[in-house]
Structure 1
Amino acid sequence: MSLGSSYHLGPAPDPRSARPLSPVPSAASLGRLLLGAALAFLLALGLTCAVFVRTYPGQWLDGLLLPRAERGGGYEQQTVLVGPSKTVLAAFGSPTLLAVLLGAVLLVGLLNRRLLAGLVGVGMVVCAVVAAGAVKSVLPRSDFPIGSSTTHNSFPSGHVAAATALLLAFMLVLPGWARRWLAVPGAVGVSVIASATMIAGWHRFSDTLGGVLLSVALFCLAAAALAGWRGDADPGAGAGPHAGTDSGAAWRRLTEGAVGLVVLLWALLVAGPGLAASVQRGTLVAIVAASGLTVLSVVSVVFLVRSADFAGPRRVRQRAPRPAATIRDGTTAWR
């Protein structure tokens, strides 16, 4: 048919009707989920502080688990692990090592096109350390007639807060598959730092728990901000009709979970007998409880951000409308 035909091609389509769906609702859903998690962890932090710092039963339980667990020399636990614990804390507290670790966060972020996430992660570590120090300075500790207890406040632990924040900073700059592989070993490393502070007598059980909760809450806030800025989908968002039927993905997750479980069992089998023979029963209970809560907290937040990428703002390219061609009779055709 020639262009001179009077055949009517119909009205021109509206190019605005072809715009892609905005990912903002999914990003907002993930942001709300993370903000809710941050609120929950902050509430847990406040309850931990209120119970263990401000009440008689809480202070009594801290003293039962770690008798005379106070900051400073002479308050360490009666165990041969005091020396190794102080060595671990001295190494981790080295400004050079901390600078190297923070630089590694930025480097990994740069290599993975997540430089902004790396900067946010470094800021998160700084905020965790500053917040822990500020709370310890201004928070009063109630004075109850409890043996081996003093009014010196050591809640929360700055060492544990820094270790947890460093681990979670790497979670911001690593891809999803790497986060899952690092979560359990990293949480075990944080547990070692927490155990060392209790054995060396620097902190009580509640202090280590407070350090973990503080950093996890800050991570949820940072991840919510990054997810909203980039437009990441919430867990399960955009799942098609065949979502959940991918046997390969299911087997991969089962493999990752099995490996994590093996690592935990190995750590318990290797460290458990030595700890049981080297520390008092209260100290052992405090170490196991702190380690379990640390692993649970880290794994839970890594699960929440499993669909987030943090690689940069998602730009949706809109296709420009095709130019119109006018036919001789005045009708318009779209090429």
Structure 2
Amino acid sequence: MTTTTLRRDTTASAVAAATLGLLTLVVLVRVALGSQRGQSWDDTAMHTVMGGRDTQLAMLSLLGYVGIGALVAVVAGCVVVAVLRGRLLLAAGAVVVIAGSNVTTQVLKRTLLDRPDLGLGTLNSLPSGHTTVVASAVGASLLVAPRAWRPLIALAGGLATTLTGASTVVAGWHRPSDVIAALAVSLVWTAGVALLLRGPSAPIAGTTAGAAVGCVTAAVLLIAIGVRPVLGWDGFVQAGLVLGLITAATTIFVVAAASVCTDD
């Protein structure tokens, strides 16, 4: 008598993740860009947290590492890992995730999306380029990594992405919606590539825990280096909601990106 074990592939999770990313992006464009109330909430949220001079310098130093050089290094690392695993298609997929996410963000921000004049400025900054750089690198790394590595990558990726996204808000470079939009763009590309490269699905318990620990650790580090509510204790709840939103959104991104990775 033989027993057949049925293993689901990543198709369903990839479709769900891509849909989540697209819907999130559409809602953000409609609400955060297209409505006066949304713009007001977004601008207010950006000004709920602050950092002193030393904190700002630390954040600017961190953001200074996020750029083309870092992307090239991540792409090279992903290609090497995929080649060593004998998975050339994964190497190509990692390149597509990173290139597609970052090109999409720049096209959306500079060409396709407009911020209507509703009394709060017309300069569009959605999605965040810095956050896209890091988030796309995390998505590509999860895609090519062996299963045993993914909890560690989820932890490090959640930490780096949360630090980057929140730092752009504290520095006054981006609104919270810009950060979440960048996560959405990166998720769509990661899930889209995973859908093309579908294979047997992998349990994500370890990556879920890793992502949560990494993102929460980042929020704690931000507080430790001096990120504070602009209004002091009177603004504690609002500042906590902003940092909490970015932390939660990044955790969801990492978990969703990990869920589309194959188990082979």
TM-score (norm 2): 0.83
Q: Deviations over 1:116-163 (max 9, x none)?
A: 212211121111111111111221112113xxx211111111111121
The amino acid across from 1:203 in the alignment is H
Q: Which runs of 5+ in 1 are unaligned?
A: 1-20, 70-75, 237-251, 310-335
The amino acid across from 1:294 in the alignment is T
Describe how 1:155-170 pairs up with structure 2 within 5 A: 155-170=126-141
Q: Give % identity.
A: 22
**Aligned counterpart, 1:299:** 255
Cα 1:142–1:199 change in 2 (3 A) is: same
1:202 Cα shift? 1.6
3-state DSSP of counterpart to 1:113: coil
The amino acid across from 2:244 in the alignment is V
Number of paired residues? 253
Conservation of the 8 A alpha-carbon contact between 2:229 and 2:239: no
Cα distance in structure 2, aligned partners of 1:115 and 1:275:
44
Describe how 1:55-134 pairs up with structure 2 within 5 A: 55-67=35-47, 79-80=52-53, 81-93=55-67, 95-134=68-107
Q: Which runs of 5+ in 2 are unaligned?
A: none
Cα 1:104–1:50 change in 2 (3 A) is: same
Cα distance in structure 2, aligned partners of 1:134 and 1:265:
31
Cα 1:287–1:262 change in 2 (3 A) is: closer
Higher helix share: 2
Conservation of the 8 A alpha-carbon contact between 1:41 and 1:214: yes
1:233 is aligned to 2:200:
yes
Cα 1:209–1:119 change in 2 (3 A) is: same
1:308 Cα shift? 3.2
The amino acid across from 1:118 in the alignment is A
Q: Deviations over 1:158-208 (max 9, x none)?
A: 111121010110111111121122112211111111112112222111000
Cα distance in structure 1, aligned partners of 2:69 and 2:158:
22
3-state DSSP of counterpart to 1:203: coil
Conservation of the 8 A alpha-carbon contact between 1:125 and 1:162: yes
Cα distance in structure 1, aligned partners of 2:73 and 2:219:
30
Q: 2:223 aligns with which of 243, 257, 272?
A: 272
Q: 2:157 aligns with which of 186, 205, 208?
A: 186
1:287 Cα shift? 2.8
TM-score (norm 1): 0.67
Cα distance in structure 2, aligned partners of 1:141 and 1:264:
30
When Rg is computed on C-alpha atoms for both structures, the one with the higher figure is 1
User: What is the Cα-based RMSD across aligned positions, in Å?
Assistant: 3.0
Q: 2:11 aligns with which of 18, 28, 31?
A: 31
3-state DSSP of counterpart to 1:92: coil
Cα 1:77–1:139 change in 2 (3 A) is: same
Q: 1:221 aligns with which of 165, 187, 192?
A: 192
Conservation of the 8 A alpha-carbon contact between 2:71 and 2:133: no
